[in-house]
Amino acid sequence: MADDIFTDPQQWGFETRAIRAGQHHDASSGAVVTPISLATTFVQEEPGKHRGYEYSRTGNPTRSALQDCLASLEGAGHGLAFGSGMAAEDTLLRTLSPGDHIVLGNDAYGGTYRLISAVLAPSGVDWSAADLTDPDSLRAAMRPATKVVWAETPTNPLLTVIDLAATAEIAHAGGARFVVDNTFATPYLQQPLSQGADVVVHSTTKYCGGHSDVVGGFIATNDDGLAERLAYLQNAIGAIGSPFDNYLTLRGLKTLAVRMDRHCENAQAIVDLLVDHPAVSHVLYPGLSDHPGHEAAARQMSAFGGMVSFRVAAGRDAAMRVTTATKVFSLAESLGAVESLIEHPGVMTHASAAGSPLEVPDDLVRLSVGIESTQDLVDDVAQALDGL
Ligand SMILES: *Cc1c(COP(=O)(O)O)cnc(C)c1O
């Protein structure tokens, strides 16, 4: 909203904007919390003359509050909230036409790979995978028809780091938009638009919501024309979340900064354990100085996040056993919430990438380190590995 003083990143800090941007005290009651606006339709003074809302698929006050808040956190002029991360991605990719080409990082979220390879490709959108840590691999994958370069950083589940500014430069030189899935880092740790990205997408289901109780997605951009097209597509497709979903996500954002601080702290403690453990062959965490993307991560992120992956020296079966041997870490898909989760990507989240360029090692275990007591988490992982 134009009259919202709290959306300006020049004037207000991240935490202030997370709690205040887009969130007006209710004019009629003075309620300090954004109401859940359930109305599907809104009165008009005369035909076509209304207060900004007509029909709730097109626009909803609770959704507007979330959009203004998260757009501000990403340093974006425009934000759109969706019913899921995949709904956001699908809506964004519907700006493409048959014959257009996408370059996708070869370590992308399995669902993104599935959407592009199994849903878009059959209707004529081309794609290829590239190693986005290697500028030559990206340059070789670019075609005259390339309209989108799609990256995650850090990636899921290998925690690979992509140099945002360098990738943006190559994408732009080829006339493509640079899209960054910022789900893992969150705007608290990394703001891709300030590093040359044109579009940021989120699964707000993860850290933004933060409590494993709401599915949602988001797109942020400073491109006015694209934002207008996306709002048109969102309304045409109907890829929205409910007002209650929007409320929960907005509620989650208020504590994003303090949660991320603790996620990062706990992840570092787990990493310290893993690097010294004989049952572990590799620890994948951008905060490690020998991580190939450490320098880029240190440059473009303010801390290294709450996701940690590692490979179990004894192989696949041992990795599977670790995932059922923890007590505090629950065996489940998803990530980014207050409770710690453990999973086997090859069998669970990334099963659909088997046999593709995006296949992950079968001895890989992924941790979403939560915000429980640090020592309890360290002890839990230690006992699971000691018992192998
Ligand atoms: C979960 C996830 C998505 C998909 O989001 P949904 O909310 O599950 O639809 C996309 N990208 C990344 C990196 C994710 O972790």
Q: Binning pLDDT at 50, 70 and 90, where does residue 15 land?
A: very high
The dihedral through the CA atoms of 89, 241, 213, 305 has a sign that is positive
Q: Tell me which amino acid residue 168 is.
A: A
Instruction: State the Cα–Cα distance between residues 232 and 213, nearest whole angstrom.
Output: 28
pLDDT of residue 248: 98
pLDDT higher than threshold 90 for residue 350: no
Predicted pLDDT at 358 = 74
Mean of pLDDT over the chain? 96
Atom 5 (ligand 1) nearest CA: 85
Which residues form ligand 1's pocket by a CB distance below 6 Å?
A: 84-86, 109, 111-112, 152, 156, 181, 183-184, 203, 205-206, 215, 217
pLDDT band at residue 2, thresholds of 50, 70 and 90?
Answer: very low
**Cα(342)–Cα(327) distance, integer angstroms:** 10
Distance 206 CA to ligand 1 centre (A): 8
Catalytically annotated residues: 57, 109, 181, 206
| pLDDT value at residue 127 | 98
Give the DSSP per-residue string, 267-319.
Answer: HHHHHHHHHT-TTEEEEE-TTSTTSTTHHHHHHH-SS--SEEEEEETT-HHHH
pLDDT of residue 223: 98
* CA pair distance 331, 312, nearest whole angstrom: 16
Q: Residue 355 has what pLDDT?
A: 84
Q: In terms of Cα–Cα distance, which of 343, 336, 323 is closest to 384?
A: 323
Dihedral angle computed from the Cα positions of residues 348, 349, 353 and 354, in that order, rounded to the nearest 10 degrees? -10
The pLDDT of residue 27 is: 81
At 359, the pLDDT band (50, 70, 90 cuts) reads confident
| Residue 357 scores a pLDDT above 90 | no
With a cut of 50, say whether residue 315 has pLDDT above it. yes
Reported as a pLDDT band with limits 50, 70 and 90, residue 343 is: very high
CA distance 348 to 334: 10
Pocket test for ligand 1, best of 82, 114, 183 (most atoms within 8 A of CB): 183
Tokens of 387: 């018992």
Q: How far is the CA of 86 from the centre of ligand 1 (A)?
A: 6
In the predicted structure, residue 297 carries a pLDDT above the cut 80: yes
pLDDT, average across residues 32-42: 96
Atom 1 of ligand 1, nearest CA residue: 203
Q: What is the pLDDT of residue 352?
A: 73
Query: Given a cut of 80, is residue 70 above it in pLDDT?
Result: yes
Q: Closest ligand 1 atom, CA of 88?
A: 9
Higher pLDDT, 358 or 144: 144
Predicted pLDDT at 3: 64
Alpha-carbon distance of 199 to 113, in angstroms, equals 18
CA of 201 to the centre of ligand 1 (A): 9
Indicate if the pLDDT at residue 273 is higher than 50.
Answer: yes
> What are the angstrom distances between the C-alpha of 25 and each of 9, 56, 65, 316?
20, 21, 11, 54
C-alpha distances in angstroms, 62 versus 53, 251, 306, 376? 11, 11, 29, 38
Look at residues 14, 122, 39, 113 and name the one whose alpha carbon lies nearest to residue 357: 113
Scored b (16 or more CB within 10 A) or e, 202-227 reads: bbbbbbbbbebebbbbbbbbbbeebb
Q: If you average pLDDT over residues 136-144, what whole number do you get?
A: 98
- Structure-token match 């300090």, residue found: 32
Q: Which atom of ligand 1 is nearest to the CA of 152?
A: 13
User: Do the Cβ atoms of 218 and 81 come closer than 8 Å?
Assistant: yes
pLDDT band for 356, please (50, 70, 90 cuts). Answer: confident
> Per residue in 150-177, pLDDT tens?
999 999 899 999 999 999 999 999 999 9
In order of start, what are the domains of the chain with their CATH numbers?
A: 14-254 (3.40.640.10), 258-386 (3.90.1150.10)
Nearest atom (ligand 1) to Cα of 334? 1
- Token pair 């493409």 in the structure block, residue: 96
> In whole angstroms, what is the distance from residue 336 CA to residue 146 CA?
32
pLDDT digits (tens, 9 = 90+) for 215-265: 999 999 999 999 999 999 999 999 999 999 999 999 999 999 999 999 999
**Amino acid letter, residue 232:** Y
Residue identifier of the C-alpha nearest atom 8 of ligand 1: 85
- 354 pLDDT exceeds 90? no
**Confidence category of residue 28, pLDDT binned at 50, 70, 90:** confident
**pTM to 2 decimal places:** 0.96
- Return the bridge partners of 330, or none: 341
Distance 181 CA to ligand 1 centre (A): 9
Q: Which two tokens stand for residue 245?
A: 């979903």
Average pLDDT for residues 179-189, to the nearest whole number? Answer: 98
Look at residue 57 in the predicted model and tell me its pLDDT.
Answer: 98
Whole-angstrom distance, CA of residue 88 vs CA of residue 92: 6
End-to-end CA distance of the chain: 56
Report the distance separating Cα 8 and Cα 72, nearest Å. Answer: 7
Span from the CA of 93 to the centroid of ligand 1 (angstroms): 15
Q: How confident is the model at residue 93 (pLDDT cuts 50, 70, 90)?
A: very high
Judged against a pLDDT cut of 80, whether residue 104 lies above it is answered with yes
Ligand 1 atom nearest to CA at 108: 13
